[in-house]
Structure 1
């Protein structure tokens, strides 16, 4: 696996159903390395600290392979890297094979897979189509949140090398499906 794109975003105010909402969902590819800190990515806006950022959700990774699926579902969307709100677009990360606790060496950093990403309405805002939220829940293409065990810089082209495997733990997809069932999403 390797990083295809590093993505950060600025704080933006949007009108959502007549209410001003602040979001950091609008992330875009950058040409320079990004610094992965203990609780977030340096220079990346996190506006909802209750659901994003923090030690267990410091960095969000999403698979480029999933983009191909979504392009068939939303053929009119301009699929720029970072459209899912991810900090790292990774060539082929598979939530059905990544277990909670699996650890990776990436650039100067060491990252540990922690939890799935649960979609909210802001993903719908980013796509300009609220149907993406329900459709996202019906897949296992949730992406992976990572804890930063060793801070440092990463850049496009860096290898994503697994250095620890935890097959005794649930996969990220297992966690996502369990959350979908818990929330009664059909």
Structure 2
């Protein structure tokens, strides 16, 4: 079986989940299909790229570069074994749970055709305190980062409806070769990774400035 969408997941804001019981949309639950579109700028746009999916912290989540989040079912299965408990589709807060696709081997800037929709990989998911609270595992953020396989954020290039079972085809891949885990390492202070990410030409604006700060701290 080729790469496909195993589950499409959206979350309505719920209280009692995040840090100190904060309201968050991380509790994503499967639906049959979802309309996706470019949500616009982070903080001032529509938030999530998935219609009906809540983004409650617009400062750190959502926006065009983080319109959707994809995680491989194979990664959830690995973590299920590590944690000794079942992890359901959507439990990492992902909008797309894939099957047969190594999401973490994706190159930043590569594009996926998913049914009628065209998506672009923009980088890794950076774990936050609400994610840690939701998972309820001691040292979760540190452990997740050390594992290095975070899943990928996606931009919506061509909108449409994503449906469970849709095939996923990688239609283009940049030659720079900087994969999602490299950028995750960069965000957490790996200077060589940050230099590679800068050299890819895939980042600009605030993201580029942050990568440059990582390298500046070690010069």
Q: Which runs of 4+ in 1 moved over 4 A?
A: none
Q: Counterpart of 1:63? A: 72
Structure with the bigger RCO (C-alpha within 8 Å, sep 6+) is 1
Q: Distance in 2 between matches of 1:85 and 1:167?
A: 30
Q: Aligned to 2:57, which of 48, 59, 63?
A: 48
Q: Distance in 2 between matches of 1:16 and 1:34?
A: 25
Relative to the length of structure 2, the TM-score reads 0.77
Q: Distance in 1 between matches of 2:60 and 2:177?
A: 23
Q: Counterpart of 1:21? A: 22
Relative to the length of structure 1, the TM-score reads 0.89
Aligned length: 180
Aligned to 2:57, the other structure's residue is in SS state: coil
Q: Distance in 2 between matches of 1:20 and 1:136?
A: 22
Alignment RMSD (CA, Å): 1.7
Structure 2 stretches of 5 or more lacking a match?
40-48, 191-213, 215-219
Q: Distance in 1 between matches of 2:18 and 2:25?
A: 14
Q: Counterpart of 1:10? A: 12
Alignment of 1:87 with 2:87, yes or no, is no
Aligned to 1:163, the other structure's residue is in SS state: strand
The answer to whether the Cα contact below 8 Å between 2:17 and 2:133 also exists between their aligned partners in 1 is: no
Question: Which stretch has the larger CA shift, 39-48 or 6-15?
Answer: 6-15
Q: 1:16 to 1:55 in 2, by over 3 A?
A: closer
Larger Rg: 2
Structure 1 stretches of 5 or more lacking a match?
none
Q: Distance in 2 between matches of 1:166 and 1:15?
A: 38
